[in-house]
Amino acid sequence: MAKYIVKRILMGILTAFVVATLTFFIMNLVPGGPFLAEKAVTPQAQAAMEAKYGLDKPLFQQYLTYMGGLLHGDLGVSLKKRGFTVADIIGNRFPVSARLGGIAVLVAVLIGVPLGSLSAFNRGKAADNIIIVFSTAGIAIPSFLTCTLLMYFLSVKMKLLPSLGLDTPASYIMPVIALSLYPASYITRLMRSSMLDVIGQDYMRTARAKGVPAYKAVFKHALRNAILPVVTYLGPLLAYLMTGSFIVEKIFTIPGLGQEFVSAIPSRDYPLIMGTTIFLACFIILMNVIVDIAYAFIDPRIKLK
Amino acid sequence: MEGKKNPLSLQLNVDEIQDAFEPATAEEKESLVVMRESVGFFKDGLRRFRKNKIAMASLTVVVIIIILAFIVPAFYPYDYEEQMKGSERLGVMEYSKSELERMEAGEKVFPHFLGTDQNGRDYTIRVLMGARVSMTVGIIASALILLIGSVYGAVAGYFGGRTDMVMMRIVDILYTIPDVLIIILLAQVLKFPLQNLAQVPGFSWITALGPNMVSMFLVFALLYWVGMARIVRGQIMVLKQNEYVTAAKALGATNGRIIRKHLITNCIGTLIVTTTLQIPSSIFTESFLSFLGLGVQAPMPSLGSLASNALNGLQTFPEKLFAPAFMIFVIILSFNLLGDGLRDAFDPKMKR
Are the Cβ atoms of A144 and B308 closer than 8 angstroms? Answer: yes
The Cα of B147 is separated from the nearest Cα of chain A by a number of Å equal to 24
The pLDDT of residue B59? 93
The pLDDT of residue A111? 94
Per-residue pLDDT, averaged over A269-296, amounts to 80
Q: How confident is the model at residue A106 (pLDDT cuts 50, 70, 90)?
A: very high
The pLDDT of residue A305? 44
Which residue of A11, A247, A277 is in closest CB contact with B172?
A11
For B278, residues 6+ apart whose C-beta sits below 8 A from its C-beta are B141, B142, B145, B146, B224, B228
**B 26-65 residues with CB < 8 A to A:** none
The pLDDT of residue B331? 92
CA atoms of A275 and A264, how far apart (whole Å): 11
Q: What ipTM was reported for this prediction?
A: 0.76
Q: How many residues does this entry show for chain B?
A: 352
Q: What is the mean pLDDT of chain A?
A: 81
CA distances from B40 to B15, B36, B46, B263, B339 (A): 39, 12, 10, 17, 21
Give percent of chain B with pLDDT exceeding 90: 11
Using alpha carbons, select from B180, B322, B200 the residue that is nearest to residue A265.
Answer: B180
Q: How confident is the model at residue B5 (pLDDT cuts 50, 70, 90)?
A: low
The residue ranking higher by pLDDT, B182 or B331, is B331
Q: What are phi and psi of B3, to 5 degrees?
A: 180, 175
The pLDDT of residue A302? 61
CA atoms of A262 and A284, how far apart (whole Å): 17
Domain layout of chain B by residue ranges: 48-82+121-350
Per-residue pLDDT, averaged over A295-304, amounts to 68
The Cα of A240 is separated from the nearest Cα of chain B by a number of Å equal to 9
- Residue B332 CB: number of other CB atoms within 10 A? 24
Question: Class assignment of domain A92-264?
Answer: mainly alpha
**Burial (CB count <10 Å: 0-12, 13-18, 19+), residue B210:** buried
The pLDDT of residue B330? 92
The residue ranking higher by pLDDT, A26 or B55, is B55
Give percent of chain A with pLDDT exceeding 70: 89
Is residue B156's pLDDT more than 70? Answer: yes
The pLDDT of residue B352? 40
Q: First CA to last CA across chain B, in angstroms?
A: 58
A100-114, B12-26, B196-210 — most confident range: A100-114
Contact B342, B276 (CB under 8 A): yes
Using alpha carbons, select from A256, A275, A263 the residue that is nearest to residue A77.
Answer: A275
Per-residue pLDDT, averaged over B186-202, amounts to 72
Are the Cβ atoms of B333 and A140 closer than 8 angstroms? Answer: yes
Is residue A107's pLDDT more than 50? Answer: yes
The pLDDT of residue A153? 84
Is residue B264's pLDDT more than 90? Answer: no
Q: Considering only A251-260, A293-302, B265-274, which range has the smallest mean pLDDT?
A: A293-302
Is residue B350's pLDDT more than 60? Answer: no
Kindly list the residues from chain B whose CB atom is less than 8 angstroms away from the CB atom of residue A148.
Answer: 307, 310-311, 314, 321, 325
The residue ranking higher by pLDDT, A277 or B326, is B326
Nearest-CA residue of chain A relative to B350? A193
**A 51-110 residues with CB < 8 A to B:** none
Which residue of A18, A26, A145 is in closest CB contact with B173?
A18
The pLDDT of residue B247? 92
Per-residue pLDDT, averaged over A33-60, amounts to 67
For B260, residues 6+ apart whose C-beta sits below 8 A from its C-beta are none
Instruction: Tell me which amino acid residue B134 is.
Output: S
| B216-256 confidence digits (pLDDT tens) | 787 777 788 888 898 888 888 888 888 989 999 999 989 98
CA distances from B75 to A146, A223, B67 (A): 33, 56, 11
Q: What is the mean pLDDT of chain B?
A: 80
| B114-132 confidence digits (pLDDT tens) | 777 777 788 888 889 889 8
Are the Cβ atoms of A193 and B352 closer than 8 angstroms? Answer: yes
Q: What angle do CA A142, A146, A150 make, to 5 degrees?
A: 170
Per-residue pLDDT, averaged over A230-243, amounts to 76
Its pTM stands at 0.80
Instruction: Tell me which amino acid residue A92 is.
Output: N
The pLDDT of residue A86? 84
Q: How confident is the model at residue A65 (pLDDT cuts 50, 70, 90)?
A: confident
The pLDDT of residue B41? 75
**A 269-298 residues with CB < 8 A to B:** 273, 277, 280-281, 284-285, 288
Is residue B199's pLDDT more than 90? Answer: no
Are the Cβ atoms of A247 and B288 closer than 8 angstroms? Answer: yes
Convert A194-230 to b/e letters by CB count within 10 Å (16 or more is b): bbbebbeeeebeebeeeeeeeeebbeebbbebbbbbb
The pLDDT of residue A41? 63
Return the SS3 of B116: strand
The pLDDT of residue A259? 81
The pLDDT of residue A108? 93
Return the SS3 of A196: helix
Nearest-CA residue of chain A relative to B337? A136
Kindly list the residues from chain B whose CB atom is less than 8 angstroms away from the CB atom of residue A265.
Answer: 184-185, 188
| B73-92 confidence digits (pLDDT tens) | 888 877 777 777 766 667 76
The pLDDT of residue B222? 79
Q: Considering only A76-80, A110-114, A216-220, which range has the smallest mean pLDDT?
A: A76-80
Per-residue pLDDT, averaged over B6-32, amounts to 73
Kindly list the residues from chain A whose CB atom is less than 8 angstroms away from the CB atom of residue B65.
Answer: none
Nearest-CA residue of chain B relative to A276? B181
Is residue A193's pLDDT more than 70? Answer: yes
Q: How confident is the model at residue B152 (pLDDT cuts 50, 70, 90)?
A: very high
Contact B142, B278 (CB under 8 A): yes
The pLDDT of residue B272? 85
Q: Domain B48-82+121-350 classified CATH 1.10.3720.10?
A: yes
Kindly list the residues from chain A whose CB atom is less than 8 angstroms away from the CB atom of residue B280.
Answer: 140
Is residue A231's pLDDT more than 80? Answer: yes
